[in-house]
Structures are given as structure tokens and as C-alpha cells.
Amino acid sequence: MFENLESFEKRFDELEKDMVDPEVLSDSNRYQAIAKEHAEIADIVTKYREYKSTLEEIKDAKEMHREEKDSDMREMINEEIKDLERHEKELEDEIKILLIPKDENDDKNVIVEIRAGAGGDEAALFAGVLYRMYKMYAERNRFKVDEINTNELGIGGYKEAIFMISGKGAYSKLKYESGVHRVQRVPETESSGRIHTSTVTVAVLPEAEEVEIDINPNDIRVDVFRSSGNGGQSVNTTDSAVRLTHIPTGIVVSCQDEKSQLKNKDKAMKVLKAKLYDMEMEEQNKNIADAKKSQVGTGDRSERIRTYNYPQGRITDHRIGKTIHQMESFLDGDLDEMIDSITQYDQAQKVENAM
């Protein structure tokens, strides 16, 4: 670990010299690349320097403790050594986390797909609850929400809701939400008060950039049709809705939320690229040795990751065994405590694997 840190510090010093070099300053592309690399390792180098400084302070304090004759003063120095050693351990842990390879998708926008699973109308209603929850979470983080395609039922629920959340770090925050969300509650229509269990699936896909996914236009079939609302009502008199079929994979994507056919096609293409990129990433992940995989990861889509128990007012994440009892605020988008806990757990697993 320390060999890596020494090389980071050496590289950091080289980059700082380059950033004031007139030749580099005159080349904006080169300067931006150097500035980006400098920013990426700045936190690691800062923590490492603080760590080295703390080690020096411990060494000096221990020397003073050996030479000091006064018992009260020795006790004070001993307490200082304990504090410094605690700080040393904290810095070690922080550095280990900073050394975890960064997920290249973390800063990307995300495409979220929510689909009602088992449970009929109850599942559709809960899909609507989750849709609202993620939109409110996005608002709390000042992310932008852009609807792509929704299939709303007359009862107020959703068979399907696909939308984009845009903002720096959106994927890093939401990537652990992929999986099966289970709800246990008494439906309003249930006269006997019997608890029903329903499921909703959530998929979180990083938005793919143009350079990452190259799609052959000949591989896509484009169909246009009229948008429809609840119960099949026509809400548009022109063929503005778009359906894209990727022939090699059979992936089908529809978008009808915009009045413009061009805008609907653009949104559908973003979803298609994200799905193809996700397939590519999934294939790569299969090649990673099981011992190096995080126990959390970004979630198997078929895995039950969380239960929302209304009668007991609790939300339990089964991957980390964490339970939160603030059901109302959680469903109003207050997800930070759960997301932070899952992120910390995942980081700890990755550190353990790396060590």
C-alpha cells in the first residue's frame, strides 16, 4: 500500500510542476487532462501527507515520553500518544477507501426503470410509491428528473415507469437500488385487514456516452405510433410515440412522453444505449473472480434487496441487515441513511478483498 502512496505523491508533485509550465498552459487539452489527473489523486496525497505527519508526531511524542521524568507530564504525553494513534488508524482506514478503484460510472446520469411485479394492482400502486420516492430523493439532491416512458393505470399506480435522473454523482448514489423491492401492507380494498405481499423491480442503468456504445443504424427497427393515456385513450393525434427494436439483442424500448417524435426517439435511444452498455458491463463483471466481488455490488435484478413493512413501519435492507423505522420520511425521499450505510458496507468489503 505504501509503495502505491509514494508513487501517487511523486506523480502529484510532477503534475503540479506541469500545471505551471508555460508549454502546458498554452495547450488547453493537455492542461485539462493534467488538471483532471491532479484532482483525481489530490485527496489520496493529502491524506497520505497527513498520515506521514501523524507518524512523525507519534515518534516525537514517544521520544518525549521516554525522556520526561515528571509523572504527570508523562501521563499527559501518554494520552496525546493514544489520541495520535487513534487518528493514525482513522487515516489508514480513509486511505484504504480512497485507494479502492473508482467506479467509472459513478459521476454519470442514471436511467431508472420501475416495473410492477407480483401482486397485481397492489404492485402497481407500490411502483407509483417508489416512483414518487426516487423523484423526491432527486429533488433533495438537486438532480433533474426527466420522464422517458410511463404506463400509468387508472387506479393511480404504474405498470412501468422509466425516467432519467441527471446530476453529478447520480449513479454513485442510486446504483445499489437495483433489485426486487417487496412491500407488505393491507390494501385499501381489503375488508378483512389481511396483509398482502407484492413486489416491484427496480433497475438503475448508467447513461452510456457516445464513445462507449456504437450502434449500427441497420441493427435498429424504428416504429412510430400514437401515444395513449389511461385506459388506452388517445392523447395525441399524430404518430409521435417511438418504439426502437435492437435486432441483434431483441431489446425493445418505447417512448411516448414527448409530443415530438424526434424527442421521443432521442430519449428511447438513450435508454437503448444504457441497456446495451449495462449488458456489456454485466458480461465483464462475470469475468471477475468471485473472491474479488463485493457482497453488495450493484444488485442482481432478481434478488430481493429490501422489504417495506407498513404495519410495523419499517424498511429493511436484506443485504446489510439494516432496518429503518421512519417509513413516512423514507418514502418522501429521505434515503441518505440507508444509501450511506450500503455504500460504507460495500467499501469495507472492497477494502477487505483488496487487502
Chain segment 157-186, per-residue pLDDT in tens: 899 999 999 998 999 999 999 999 999 998
What pLDDT is attached to residue 162? Answer: 93
Contacts (Cβ under 8 Å, ≥6 apart) of 216: none
What pLDDT is attached to residue 64? Answer: 94
Between vectors from CA 105 to CA 142 and to CA 205, what angle results, nearest 5°?
75
Please tell me what DSSP assigns to residue 232. Answer: G
Please report which helix (H) or strand (E) contains residue 309, including its range. strand 304-309
Contacts (Cβ under 8 Å, ≥6 apart) of 271: 111, 148, 149, 162, 205, 253, 255
Band of pLDDT at residue 9, cut at 50, 70 and 90 = very high
Band of pLDDT at residue 65, cut at 50, 70 and 90 = very high
What pLDDT is attached to residue 234? Answer: 45
pTM over 0.85: no
Residue 27 reports pLDDT greater than 70:
yes
What is the average pLDDT score of the chain? 86
Q: What is the pLDDT of residues 221-277, one digit of tens each?
A: 988 887 765 544 445 556 788 999 999 999 999 888 788 888 888 888 888 988 888
> Domain limits of the chain?
2-98, 110-286+296-349
Instruction: State the cell numbers at 328.
Output: 413516512
What pLDDT is attached to residue 290? Answer: 43
Residue 120 reports pLDDT greater than 80:
yes
> Which class is domain 110-286+296-349?
alpha beta
- Long-range (24+ apart) CB contacts under 8 A made by 62-68 are none
Q: What is the pLDDT of residues 179-211, one digit of tens each?
A: 999 999 988 667 677 889 999 999 999 988 765
Mean pLDDT within 73-84: 95
CA distances from 232 to 78, 162, 293, 335 (A): 77, 19, 45, 35
Band of pLDDT at residue 67, cut at 50, 70 and 90 = very high
Contacts (Cβ under 8 Å, ≥6 apart) of 304: 179, 180, 182, 199, 318
Residue 31 reports pLDDT greater than 90:
yes
Band of pLDDT at residue 286, cut at 50, 70 and 90 = low
What pLDDT is attached to residue 306? Answer: 96
The answer to whether 109 touches 170, Cβ cutoff 8 Å, is yes
What pLDDT is attached to residue 231? Answer: 42
The answer to whether 112 touches 174, Cβ cutoff 8 Å, is yes
What pLDDT is attached to residue 193? Answer: 76
Query: What is the CB-side half-sphere exposure of residue 253 using CA atoms within 13 A?
Result: 24
The answer to whether 196 touches 218, Cβ cutoff 8 Å, is no
CA gap 93, 51 in Å, rounded:
11
Query: What is the CB-side half-sphere exposure of residue 148 using CA atoms within 13 A?
Result: 26
**Torsion angle of alpha carbons 63, 68, 73, 78, nearest 10°?**
30
> 156: exposed, middle or buried (C-beta count within 10 Å: 0-12, 13-18, 19+)?
exposed
CA gap 117, 220 in Å, rounded:
28
259 or 13: which carries more pLDDT confidence?
A: 13
What pLDDT is attached to residue 75? Answer: 94
Residue 310 reports pLDDT greater than 80:
yes
Residue 301 reports pLDDT greater than 80:
no
Residue 145 reports pLDDT greater than 80:
yes
Band of pLDDT at residue 140, cut at 50, 70 and 90 = very high
What pLDDT is attached to residue 2? Answer: 66
Adjacent-strand bridge partners of 152: 158
Please report which helix (H) or strand (E) contains residue 159, including its range. strand 158-166
Backbone angles phi, psi at 187, to 5 degrees: -65, 150
Distance of CA 256 to the CA centre of its chain: 27
Contacts (Cβ under 8 Å, ≥6 apart) of 117: 123, 180, 198, 199, 200, 201
What pLDDT is attached to residue 294? Answer: 46
What pLDDT is attached to residue 355? Answer: 59
